[in-house]
Amino acid sequence: MKKTINADKAPAAIGPYSHAAAYGELLFTSGQLPVSREQGALVEGGISEQSRQSLLNLQYVLEAANSGLQNVLKTTCYLSDINDFAAFNEVYKTFFKQDCPARSCFAVKDLPMGALVEVEAIAHINP
């Protein structure tokens, strides 16, 4: 049975979607932009600051679904500039310190709101 997840700590969706959808013990998150819930806008700074906020938002969504970063099976990471790959990795590895999930990471032409990064995940929900 499908269950919709919306996280109180994550910023509101900017379109007609939920933060995540669960089916059984699997969780599929929407892409998390580097938007601060408090400000309702992109965080200031470059790729490092935006990567940190996107990953924090992902963490909030996972926690709202009774999951966590340790349960992530795969991430898909979108960068507006592939030259930001190394800087993104520096932030990413602080969130996934060991047993890193499978990952795809690639550059796209544009991201919503002019963001530099967006991250989505597939995770396992704690029983």
Residues involved in catalysis: 105
Residue 90, SS3 per DSSP: helix
The continuous run of DSSP H or E covering 21 comes out as: strand 20-23
Report strand pairing: 72-79 vs 35-36.
unpaired
Residue 90 corresponds to which tokens in the numbers above?
Answer: 């520096």
- Non-local CB neighbours of 22 within 8 Å, separated by 6+ positions: 2, 3, 4, 5, 28, 65, 125
**Cβ distance 42 to 115 under 8 Å?**
yes
